[in-house]
């Protein structure tokens, strides 16, 4: 029961953040939230969600979910310029001297938290992560161009990818591994037969279960994006939102003191005051 609750917690941790950024494009194969499923015969792509698989133990599954959230915020969550996704890491790195040091500290903190998994990172994965952090820091020291290269390099999402591969190496069942290998063979043979090049997007992402957007989610996502585009077009054209109009004059609702304000006080029947006479009824002309 506890394991089920932890898995639900990990899914909820990622689900809330995914909902904020589900209108964004897939940020390459290291995108922590989304991936592309490509039909090898037609080349058509479909955006899918990445979830933590059940074969990863509870403790490590929760760490993976949190590190995916953190890496996305640091490397991809803000905006895109010339095909390069920017996150808070890139903004922090713009601050001279201090920014690069703070950026490196955040990257090292992510590596340390990744190392808390029960199976351990192992020397190969740990060295690979530290090299990514070092390259990210050195490149970021170059003014402006270095910051752009830093944003394109994305050390944090690369390190989460290393974590995912390590978790698959330790926990993924052999049956699933063999199925993925057979799938890759079939795709390569299909691409070779049709004369089309094999792309890395066809490879199954590590430590991931692919989940489709439900019909309601897809509808709400498209509706949200379309409403935002329509609002931008109206703002660019200088068109104001139409105001709601009401037909005719609305009757005013009175209160207990309205009689004093208008000078028309209601008659008090207990004091013997006669009510005001009713207007005479007009005779009817109907036969």
Hey, where are the domains in the chain?
18-236
* Residue 269: per-residue pLDDT: 52
**Tens digits of residue pLDDT in 244-263:** 554 555 545 444 444 444 44
* Residue 258: per-residue pLDDT: 47
End-to-end CA distance of the chain: give it in Å, rounded. Answer: 85
For residue 120, name the pLDDT band (cuts at 50, 70, 90): very high
273 Cβ contact list (under 8 Å, min separation 6): 267
The fraction of the chain above a pLDDT of 90, given in percent, is 30
* Residue 63: per-residue pLDDT: 94
Identify which has the larger pLDDT, 268 or 205.
205
**Tens digits of residue pLDDT in 194-236:** 666 555 555 678 888 888 766 445 555 565 566 666 766 777 7
Identify which has the larger pLDDT, 34 or 278.
34
The mean of the pLDDT values for the chain is 77
Mean pLDDT of 75-81: 90
**Tens digits of residue pLDDT in 124-151:** 999 999 999 999 999 988 888 888 898 9
* Residue 277: per-residue pLDDT: 64
The fraction of the chain above a pLDDT of 70, given in percent, is 65
Q: Which two tokens stand for residue 131?
A: 């090299």
Mean pLDDT of 2-9: 62
Q: Which two tokens stand for residue 143?
A: 């003014």
| pLDDT above 60 for 113 | yes
* Residue 25: per-residue pLDDT: 86
């Amino acid at each position: 029961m506890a394991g089920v609750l932890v898995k639900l917690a990990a899914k909820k941790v990622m689900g809330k953040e995914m909902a904020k950024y589900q209108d964004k494009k897939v940020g390459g194969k290291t995108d922590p939230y989304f991936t592309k499923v490509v039909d090898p015969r037609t080349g058509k792509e479909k955006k899918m969600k990445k979830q933590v698989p059940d074969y990863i133990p509870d403790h490590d599954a929760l760490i993976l979910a949190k590190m995916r959230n953190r890496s996305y915020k640091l490397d991809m969550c803000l905006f895109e310029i010339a095909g390069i996704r920017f996150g808070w890491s890139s903004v922090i790195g713009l601050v001279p001297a201090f920014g690069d040091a703070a950026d490196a500290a955040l990257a090292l903190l992510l590596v340390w938290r990744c190392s808390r998994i029960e199976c351990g990172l192992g020397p190969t994965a740990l060295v690979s992560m530290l090299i990514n952090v070092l390259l990210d820091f050195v490149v970021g020291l170059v003014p402006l161009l270095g910051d752009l290269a830093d944003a394109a390099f994305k050390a944090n999402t690369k390190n989460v990818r290393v974590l995912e591969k390590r978790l698959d190496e330790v926990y993924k069942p052999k049956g699933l591994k063999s199925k993925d290998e057979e799938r890759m063979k079939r795709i390569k043979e299909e691409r070779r037969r049709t004369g089309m090049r094999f792309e890395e997007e066809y490879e199954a992402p590590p430590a991931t279960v692919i989940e489709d957007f439900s019909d309601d989610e897809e509808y709400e996502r498209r509706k949200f994006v379309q409403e935002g585009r329509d609002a931008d077009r109206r703002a660019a054209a200088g068109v104001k939102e139409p105001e709601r109009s009401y037909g005719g004059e609305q009757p005013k609702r009175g209160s207990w003191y309205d009689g004093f304000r208008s000078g028309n006080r209601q008659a008090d029947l207990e004091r013997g005051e006669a009510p005001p006479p009713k207007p005479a009824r007009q005779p009817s002309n109907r036969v």
